[in-house]
Structure 1
């Protein structure tokens, strides 16, 4: 047996060879969680390559190889005993890079193919350098060989390839473009592997077992603590009791590790990674052949400083410990924002204040620039992928010739920081779908600050008030709303497109504690309810005679004035919004379109805050946009103005769409069930921490209360107002059967109207349960059951895509349910009226029983 450190390029490059995954190995199973972590490591290494810095490579893990029985002297074949998940993932990442650059750099794409993916002069299965296990082989081959075929749809291999395709588009962000060839080099030459090569006769399974003998991994903080006190021979006990033990008692191990990392950053190391903390600090203590007494003195000073800064760090974690009111308010908002990325800058400010270099007033002013930087970027939809680098560099880049607060404003105002100016902020408030960007708490905080700007003499206690975001013009408009929108629609735009474009803009949003009462009522009814609100912004809405396009835009202008006053602008103009940034967002979401789906020009326009005509013109004149041919008219037809801008020119569009799983009716229109709305598109590039997930995770049993309508009562009242008695009774029967299966019904707060979650797990234990369906009243269109595939993808055991696909298959057995596979990453729904038939309800209960059993077995597999 031989073991040596190697790189992916050294392992697979060179003469023709093949790595075969044995049949007994499990199928490819990496989920987005593992892919995202790997991608983060790759980008980090790519950044180091771009900057020219010398740094440690990233250790990826081991690969255990054994000679294959099919080995030939001229064509080596290796069995992959361990490491197939890593090799498959890296191969798919390189295939995605090859396809990403194919139009612009065909020669480079061919080079990647020949160096890492194929054996050019071999045919059949020998053509591939990596040959996965049988179950994954056809799909893997489809992505490596191309062009893609229908067998490439679905599965973990397809999901991984799709992940890399869309992340490559995101990495080309004009705000901070990353060199795709540096990404390639990071994959092939910066990720190290330990290759264990067995000889014939070696027990490769024993090798595999020894490598996978798991234990509790020591953290960077553990390693550094052990090193520090091993070196402290003279005063170790005193230092431990005086400084270390109180520090360790005040912070968790993870928080302590974060503080240690921040200490390095504050001391000027703006490139250190948390996973390199131990090595970086050890190197500092042992520089230049220092003597033992000098090392001990340095370590004691380091721990004393860590102890001092620990008290400051706690104020970031617990803002209530900050004594100054203005600084405390900023820390609370940044904590609500979940702005851990800003900790290097915040620690710098608190540290300088404690040293007497600035007072609390200037500290608060500097924090207002940080808050504005984050808020304006979120409202203007500037990607967050570069924030770590921006704030980690603050301590080392802060100008020395100006006041600290002014220097921070100057630093964040640099053009490559993309702090939006007043013009860009106003434009995005008017047009961008604010409700579909950022986290729920971030959106709520923006509206809360805008309400506070009215300086009402009796302000609302926001900590006590149960406020949620309300769409004044509802997300599911009734006939009266549609009639009004038709009156306001311009030529060439229908009421539905206008609604899609305006519903999520800031001008149409407010805060309220009576979402369910407001519901989807006509505006006249909402006026009466909003008039009695304690919020000034609601009383102003109530004072408006109607609520159409003109009124929404007027309110957007008013809120833009307030936002500009609340959140300071950068020092010098960074220019108006680059349209390329919006188009980059469009490219990113198109690259993420699942197999078997399409979208319309109007949907894409609503998603980015543009117009359908502008979207059409851009796609017709921009080469290299992934999946541009899958943007159709609202009727599901290929636009008359569509033309290929790439090497696919001349191919029939409908043939290509059919190969992508898009179905067509006899009249030539694409299947409307496969269409992705603007809201669906937002889900494709968003995280999973939105209002729906939060509502279910905090859902609880709703016990009866004397003289007061419960959430359960309200749910059925709203359902009965819109659905037949048969549907209502069918839903009641379903709930009873679900409880008999050991589940419970949760009614979450914070929805536009009430809703019902079919929950498993302990009530009142956020994040510990799971739910398969969310039921909503119909609001004039019939109640629906939403299948939360998107959230199941993050919850064991349904991180396994094959289980989610099985759930979809079972649901589609219900008469009237036909969910396309392309919506397996989204939140598709079906009508509750299908449950009126006993057989369909029985099928659903059987499916829910299957769901329960798989969840119950998650820890025993």
Structure 2
């Protein structure tokens, strides 16, 4: 190899020659950010020329060239192994200068053309000094010929050309004139390049790899594409035109990379990571001694599966109505984690191993698996492993849909059965788990199950989740709850976020925290059947909420199939893992009660107490107290490493005590506060306290009453727990302003 410093003019002008961007290179991708930087450098050099200063030139970068297989003595052709972005950009800039001066200086325009852009006496593709990769070729050729068409008015090539057109007009402004020919001179003689030229027989692929060995410059899909077309010595053009170009047009680079990864997974590699895609696939080809036929077969298979993959990204392209409905719901759920299983099903259907009805049935198991786990608060951290392993684990001796049902029902899959689903619908705070769009989809599906003769158009309706019994319960609501139990506040805490108390509405700002009689009037006019049923109820207390939860549980069990019995059932102990997680996250100077922790878990206070008493090593177990802020009579240290006076430990942790010996109620964390502690991201545990997004990209709000005013809810849940004000017990409903280091009570939360 030879390396030397050169200028753009010295590299491209002179005798007829051509610089070819190989098929394996990515398309032109410079954006305005890179173009602006280059233009700044060009103007700086133009100003130096104008002042006659002989300052150093600007180093633009390297260009790596190799002799083309089509090379001949009379017309040298070079492969651009690296540097195509620079060469394409500079060529487009010169084309823009040529067109800028054509009307006033036609001779100079012709000179620029013949020196830098075209081979005057060559025809066809040989007419161009620079020949981009096929995807960019029509647009680039149109601008070099000076005859852009409607087809060449979009894309990155055109964007770059127009950028330079615009900048040349700005540079010609009378206030800050810049001569176009001086700008041309700056481009051709003041921007230096290092040209690295390989000899015939050098390993061009090895050169390319050494330039991109970190994978930072190019994506995994870029690197793999480059490798594939470097291997296609004789059939590259045909394979590119027939398969790769349509494939590249149908998917973005990131989507193409995901498809390449899915192809490895479908072939049984259940451990490959996307960031290792290139290395793993290259190694497979090398180990198998893959030649051009095998490489072409791989690209042809990618092309076939791309049509299937697009149906996951764009469910409207799926022809079967039932399968399309499942794909739409899974897309709305944002269930990209299930793509290996969904691609497997679509692939097997195309191979006629199952029909559309069985494909839809199998997808119903996947949907149920996700929905039931979310409703039963099963952590999602192992879903990637479950679905990535599925193609290699699917039983071979049963039909595909039945095999998938069996696989998802296995012991370590934790797919909740009907009994657990019903229990969680009745008791668990549905509003505080999963993501906002998932909770909304569950309610939407339940509404659709009523099969109303005039169903709501959910795609255009601006619906958000509403608490029928509000989160901030006024005196009238508490009096109603007092009819059901002696401790209305505890009952409110346990039931407010359960599914039986939630519905969908487009008028939650009007509903606000009004008494039930006012809400009835508004809900009667709703087009949703679930709201009409709520409005037909005489009162809305614990009995009615639990009755509705039981009705919704019946519908959920009907909508979302259960796992198979005998294969295994979910372990209920995972709820305690969630309890351990939230206790470990308790901030300094806070405590919680058995009732609060139970409400957060959707369990019972007695069960929480029994678990805490019988489970060694639970972090911060001693900071769970009775609702009065006292240490439970049944509390015992569970290991020898622990011990000592509980109150002393609490004081050391910043918990204050009143003169009556109870922990300061201002430092108590409610079930709502606990939910914020374990928020995984801005969607989990937002409880729709976060501003809810609507289908049109707008935002709907659930509101709260503070005194007589209505204020919007916080837009995003905090990443970490924040203390907020809590007024004295006599004035909690006033929700005093934040910043005093106190925790707002449940009643002050909307």
**Contact 2:429-2:497 at 8 Å conserved across structures:** yes
**Contact 2:431-2:688 at 8 Å conserved across structures:** no
**Contact 2:702-2:713 at 8 Å conserved across structures:** no
**Aligned residue in 2 for 1:285:** 285
Per-residue CA distance 1:461-496 (angstroms, 9 max, x = gap)? 111111111111111111111011112116xxx111
**TM-aligned CA deviation for residue 551 of structure 1:** 0.9
* Residues 311 and 234 of structure 1: CA distance in aligned 2, closer, same or farther (over 3 Å): same
Tell me the distance in 2 between the aligned counterparts of 1:653 and 1:424. 35
**Aligned residue in 2 for 1:264:** 264
**Aligned residue in 2 for 1:381:** 377
**Aligned residue in 1 for 2:508:** 515
Tell me the distance in 1 between the aligned counterparts of 2:265 and 2:695. 41
> SS of the counterpart of 1:393?
helix
> SS of the counterpart of 2:587?
coil
* Residues 829 and 227 of structure 1: CA distance in aligned 2, closer, same or farther (over 3 Å): farther
Matched, 1:600 2:528: no
**Aligned residue in 1 for 2:158:** none
**Contact 1:602-1:634 at 8 Å conserved across structures:** yes
Per-residue CA distance 1:106-135 (angstroms, 9 max, x = gap)? xxxxxxxxxxxxxxxxxxxxxxxxxxxxxx
**TM-aligned CA deviation for residue 432 of structure 1:** 0.8
Q: Quick check: 240-249 or 659-668, which moved more?
A: 659-668
**TM-aligned CA deviation for residue 536 of structure 1:** 0.9
Per-residue CA distance 1:339-382 (angstroms, 9 max, x = gap)? 00100010011111122222211111111111011111111111
> SS of the counterpart of 1:676?
coil
**Aligned residue in 2 for 1:583:** 576
**Contact 2:485-2:491 at 8 Å conserved across structures:** yes
**TM-aligned CA deviation for residue 556 of structure 1:** 0.9
Matched, 1:646 2:574: no
Matched, 1:627 2:616: no
> SS of the counterpart of 1:470?
strand
Tell me the distance in 1 between the aligned counterparts of 2:515 and 2:224. 63
**Aligned residue in 1 for 2:349:** 353
Q: TM-score with structure 1 length normalisation?
A: 0.57
**Contact 2:440-2:464 at 8 Å conserved across structures:** yes
Matched, 1:309 2:230: no
Tell me the distance in 2 between the aligned counterparts of 1:562 and 1:587. 32
**Contact 2:463-2:694 at 8 Å conserved across structures:** no
Matched, 1:489 2:489: no
2:706 equivalent among 772, 778, 783? 778
2:741 equivalent among 791, 811, 820? 820
> SS of the counterpart of 1:488?
coil
Per-residue CA distance 1:244-291 (angstroms, 9 max, x = gap)? 222222222211111110000111111111121111101110115x2x
**TM-aligned CA deviation for residue 692 of structure 1:** 5.1
**Aligned residue in 1 for 2:649:** 656
Tell me the distance in 2 between the aligned counterparts of 1:664 and 1:253. 60
**TM-aligned CA deviation for residue 579 of structure 1:** 3.5
Per-residue CA distance 1:35-63 (angstroms, 9 max, x = gap)? xxxxxxxxxxxxxxxxxxxxxxxxxxxxx
* Residues 334 and 565 of structure 1: CA distance in aligned 2, closer, same or farther (over 3 Å): same
**Aligned residue in 2 for 1:752:** 702
**TM-aligned CA deviation for residue 571 of structure 1:** 2.1
**Aligned residue in 1 for 2:241:** 241
**Aligned residue in 2 for 1:221:** 221
* Residues 692 and 371 of structure 1: CA distance in aligned 2, closer, same or farther (over 3 Å): closer
Q: TM-score with structure 2 length normalisation?
A: 0.65
Tell me the distance in 2 between the aligned counterparts of 1:390 and 1:571. 17
> SS of the counterpart of 2:256?
helix
Tell me the distance in 1 between the aligned counterparts of 2:291 and 2:689. 51
Mapping 1:312-323, distance limit 5 Å: 312-323=308-319
* Residues 337 and 396 of structure 1: CA distance in aligned 2, closer, same or farther (over 3 Å): same
Matched, 1:613 2:606: yes
Matched, 1:395 2:395: no
* Residues 777 and 476 of structure 1: CA distance in aligned 2, closer, same or farther (over 3 Å): closer
Tell me the distance in 2 between the aligned counterparts of 1:668 and 1:535. 51
Tell me the distance in 2 between the aligned counterparts of 1:790 and 1:828. 17
**Contact 2:589-2:667 at 8 Å conserved across structures:** yes
For the aligned residue pairs, the C-alpha RMSD in angstroms reads: 3.1
* Residues 218 and 374 of structure 1: CA distance in aligned 2, closer, same or farther (over 3 Å): same
Tell me the distance in 1 between the aligned counterparts of 2:655 and 2:661. 12
Considering only CA atoms, is the larger Rg found in Structure 1 or Structure 2? Answer: 2
Mapping 1:766-845, distance limit 5 Å: 777-778=705-706, 790-791=717-718, 817-820=738-741
**TM-aligned CA deviation for residue 618 of structure 1:** 1.8
* Residues 617 and 819 of structure 1: CA distance in aligned 2, closer, same or farther (over 3 Å): farther
Tell me the distance in 2 between the aligned counterparts of 1:483 and 1:608. 26
Q: Quick check: 661-670 or 338-347, which moved more?
A: 661-670
**Aligned residue in 2 for 1:856:** none
Per-residue CA distance 1:552-573 (angstroms, 9 max, x = gap)? 1111111111111111111225
**TM-aligned CA deviation for residue 402 of structure 1:** 1.7
Matched, 1:363 2:284: no
1:339 equivalent among 322, 335, 339? 335
**Contact 2:411-2:569 at 8 Å conserved across structures:** no
> SS of the counterpart of 1:469?
strand
Per-residue CA distance 1:10-31 (angstroms, 9 max, x = gap)? xxxxxxxxxxxxxxxxxxxxxx
**Contact 1:778-1:784 at 8 Å conserved across structures:** yes
> SS of the counterpart of 1:314?
helix
**Contact 1:468-1:750 at 8 Å conserved across structures:** yes
**Aligned residue in 2 for 1:106:** none
Matched, 1:552 2:545: yes
**Contact 1:433-1:506 at 8 Å conserved across structures:** yes
**Unpaired runs of 5+ in structure 2?**
1-213, 724-735
Mapping 1:129-144, distance limit 5 Å: none
Tell me the distance in 2 between the aligned counterparts of 1:559 and 1:789. 29
2:682 equivalent among 671, 688, 697? 688
Tell me the distance in 1 between the aligned counterparts of 2:643 and 2:287. 65
> SS of the counterpart of 2:589?
coil
Tell me the distance in 2 between the aligned counterparts of 1:559 and 1:786. 28
Q: Quick check: 629-638 or 473-482, which moved more?
A: 629-638
> SS of the counterpart of 1:510?
strand
**Contact 2:265-2:340 at 8 Å conserved across structures:** yes
Tell me the distance in 1 between the aligned counterparts of 2:510 and 2:656. 41
> SS of the counterpart of 2:573?
helix
2:420 equivalent among 417, 424, 427? 424
Tell me the distance in 1 between the aligned counterparts of 2:587 and 2:611. 22
* Residues 615 and 318 of structure 1: CA distance in aligned 2, closer, same or farther (over 3 Å): same
Q: Quick check: 640-649 or 222-231, which moved more?
A: 640-649
**Aligned residue in 1 for 2:322:** 326
**Contact 2:591-2:655 at 8 Å conserved across structures:** yes
**TM-aligned CA deviation for residue 544 of structure 1:** 1.1
**Aligned residue in 2 for 1:449:** 445
**Aligned residue in 2 for 1:839:** none
Tell me the distance in 2 between the aligned counterparts of 1:340 and 1:312. 14
* Residues 589 and 247 of structure 1: CA distance in aligned 2, closer, same or farther (over 3 Å): same
* Residues 295 and 593 of structure 1: CA distance in aligned 2, closer, same or farther (over 3 Å): farther
Mapping 1:188-207, distance limit 5 Å: none
> SS of the counterpart of 1:582?
helix
**TM-aligned CA deviation for residue 751 of structure 1:** 2.4
* Residues 468 and 504 of structure 1: CA distance in aligned 2, closer, same or farther (over 3 Å): same
Tell me the distance in 1 between the aligned counterparts of 2:249 and 2:220. 18
**Contact 2:426-2:546 at 8 Å conserved across structures:** yes
